[in-house]
Structure formats: structure tokens, C-alpha cells
């Protein structure tokens, strides 16, 4: 059975950009949307919302966004791993400055290293850049995102 990860594409209404993150210790040319595993008894949506907050410090409720504003995009299988992404999208009014984003989720017990944040950098990227820079499991949704970027 595939491991399920849950994530949210954050799109800005004004600049039409997508939030992308760099996972600490991953290849520098690989970016991802904020995503992760669900906790026990957590829905995919709630897992995606929690992971967003842990990995970026973005609290959708404080932005005036309700669960009804978050739309389900579907699922996508990873090509090289036995994993599946359950994806959502939400449009926010404007860019949140990069310096306000912070990962509070720490990786522990990794090869004897001290704890470190799951995410070490953030980027606002265009849809065209996303087609090049996002992980392959996340690229399958990009054509669908165009309808949110250009409603």
C-alpha cells in the first residue's frame, strides 16, 4: 500500500505565484509544495493544513480562509517511490514575505545529526517555473492550477 502525503498549493491572487519549499538535505534543483504525512485519525485535508502551518508558519484561519476555500485537486502517484500525493489548492490575496515564513517541524534522528528543520528555504515561483522546479509528483496538477491563477 502506498504511503500517502498531503499538501496544499498556495497561489497568490495578485502575482499568480505558487509557494515552493526546499526540503533540507534534498537536491538543490528540487522544490516542493508544503506537504507531509497525516497523523493518526487525521483527514487528508487536515493533514495538509497542519503540514502547511508546521513547514511555513502559514495559518490559513488567521488569513480568513476557511476549509470551504480549499479545493481538492486529486491524487498523484510518485514515479520512483511507493507514495501518493493528495493535493489541495487555495488562493490567498497576496504574497507573504519570505522572511515571515519559518519551518517549525524538526527532523530528528537523521544519520546521527542534531535536529534540523524539515524545510530550509521558501520561494514564490511562477507556474512556468513550477513546471521545471517542482517534484515530479506535483507537476501533474500544474495544468489544473492555471484555472485558479487565471479564473
**Which one is predicted more confidently, 19 or 114?**
19
For residue 149, pLDDT beyond 80: no
Give the separation between CA 13 and CA 35, rounded to whole angstroms: 21
Task: Give, in degrees to the nearest 5, the angle at Cα 132 between 130 and 137.
Answer: 75
Average pLDDT over residues 117-133: 94
The three grid cell numbers given for residue 86, joined into one nine-digit string: 493528495
For residue 150, pLDDT beyond 80: no
- Number of domains the chain contains: 1
pLDDT tens digits, residue range 15-70?
999 999 999 988 667 899 999 999 999 999 999 999 999 999 999 999 999 999 99
Return the pLDDT at 28: 66
CATH number for the domain including 19? 3.90.79.10
pLDDT tens digits, residue range 82-110?
899 999 999 999 999 999 999 999 988 88
Domain, as residue range, for 59: 3-149
Average pLDDT over residues 106-128: 91
- Give this prediction's pTM: 0.92
37 phi-psi bin (left φ>0, alpha ψ -120 to 50, beta other): beta
Amino acid at each position: 500500500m502506498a504511503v500517502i502525503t498531503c499538501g496544499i498549493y498556495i497561489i497568490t491572487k495578485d502575482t499568480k505565484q505558487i509557494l515552493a519549499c526546499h526540503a533540507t538535505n534534498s537536491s538543490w534543483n528540487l522544490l516542493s509544495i508544503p506537504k507531509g504525512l497525516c497523523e493518526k485519525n487525521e483527514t487528508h485535508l487536515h493533514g495538509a493544513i497542519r503540514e502547511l502551518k508546521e513547514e511555513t508558519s502559514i495559518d490559513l484561519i488567521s488569513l480568513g480562509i476557511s476549509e470551504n476555500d480549499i479545493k481538492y485537486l486529486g491524487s498523484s502517484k510518485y514515479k520512483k517511490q511507493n507514495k501518493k500525493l493528495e493535493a489541495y489548492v487555495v488562493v490567498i490575496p497576496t504574497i507573504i514575505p519570505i522572511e515571515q515564513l519559518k519551518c517549525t517541524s524538526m527532523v530528528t534522528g537523521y544519520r546521527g545529526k542534531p535536529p534540523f528543520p524539515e524545510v530550509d528555504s521558501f520561494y514564490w515561483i511562477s507556474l512556468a517555473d513550477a513546471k521545471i522546479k517542482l517534484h515530479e509528483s506535483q507537476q501533474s496538477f500544474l495544468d489544473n492550477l492555471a484555472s485558479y491563477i487565471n479564473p
